[in-house]
Structure 1
Amino acid sequence: MMASLFSIFDPSTPPLLHLNWLSLLIPLTTFPPIFWLINSNILTIPKFILSSLFSEIKTLTSYSFTKGLTLILLSMFTFTLLNNFMGLLPHVFTATSHLMMTISMALPFWLTFMIFGWINNTTQMFSHMIPVGTPPILSTFMVCVETISNLIRPITLSVRLSANMIAGHLILALLSNCFSLSTNSIPMMIPEIMLISLESAVAIIQAYVFTILICLYSTEIH
């Protein structure tokens, strides 16, 4: 029972030679290139969301990072959000629910920020090791805590995203099994529809949290 539930998160499908990873390309097919060149009512909501997120990221990041990092973070938000939503469709592999995928998204950002910060702003990076107002007796302890906190950031970023995607999909799978075995299916549809709505909100929130945390980490290197 449990093996069949967790098999939906298995990235390997021997008969299809790992073709389920092609779900990463599905979002590209939902937005034909003409929609990016010509104004369309279909893109009104996405444009509003991206413009609002752009303004928020611009206020969080420094001027030296705004031009390049903002576009990268917006692209990461769009990529994560679309893949989270694609996972709600039947028989579509959720790439963001796999730890290998999320760690490959978080680790490059973290490595880039750490390398840039320690090479160009070494003094500022050392100053972040001891928060303002820390008693001298706790300085050594706080350095250890901050060091561990910095080292586990890519892990917490990736695990947070994948764990939230896995948890919701497992509950949906359990309800689907109950739905198929139930003789009175109408009462079972109500909680499942509510859970799908909740998972849609989780997909948006997790993409937003993933992007904003990366943005906040970038502000600590200057």
Structure 2
Amino acid sequence: MILRWVERNSLTMAAWEDESTVEEVLRAAGTKLDGTPVAASTARRTKRVLNVLFEHAIKKKVLKKNPLPKGKGAGAAASKTSSAVDKRSLLNKEQAAKLLGWVYYRPRGGPRLHTFFAAMYYAGARPEEVVAIDVGDVRLPDVEADDQWGELLLHTAHPEVGKQWTDTGEVREQRGLKGRAAGDTRTVPCRPALTRLLRAHIEEEGLKPGDLLLQGRRVEGSPAP
């Protein structure tokens, strides 16, 4: 029924031979509902998706040629993007210290959450990477000192996707690092402040290699996480 509705309300592929149709689609793809332009990265991504669809249609002999305009100034893709980070949107040291201090004194699991957010802040790791860190992946110097650097070996991510979406019925799913080949790893410097914090966390929790660095808080009477 849904496919029949789509068929009745969709233009034929011949419509793509009309340049005005192509221009209208690109204009719509580059505009939000309120009429303002979408982000340049969104416009570029949309054109890439359309390009893949059209190339597939050409392969299947549904279209004779790709109707998307080529070259500079080609529709919505003409907008320039920047990979630079706006430093005005970043936390400064004072703000980070206040936030981490506030987290530490939360009544339920404050110290563990403090370690979690500190690893994200100091190591630049994603949340799903931090929760997957094994104690053996934390490489701390043998000698304890205030200025010692360590390393974190990131190789797995455990994003929370919901148990209804995983094959195992678990809340989290095990994946590789985002944007990297399967089995790839990433070594991250562990600055002295984080080195001291992780050393204290491992000692206080009594963790051993093979244990997760950050473990969920067990409520009395509930099964282990």
Give the greater-gyration-radius structure (CA). 2
Structure with bigger RCO (C-alpha 8 Å, 6+ apart): 1
Of Structure 1 and Structure 2, the greater helix share is in 1
User: What's the TM-score bracket when you normalise by the shorter of the two chains?
Assistant: under 0.3
TM-score (norm 2): 0.25
TM-score (norm 1): 0.25
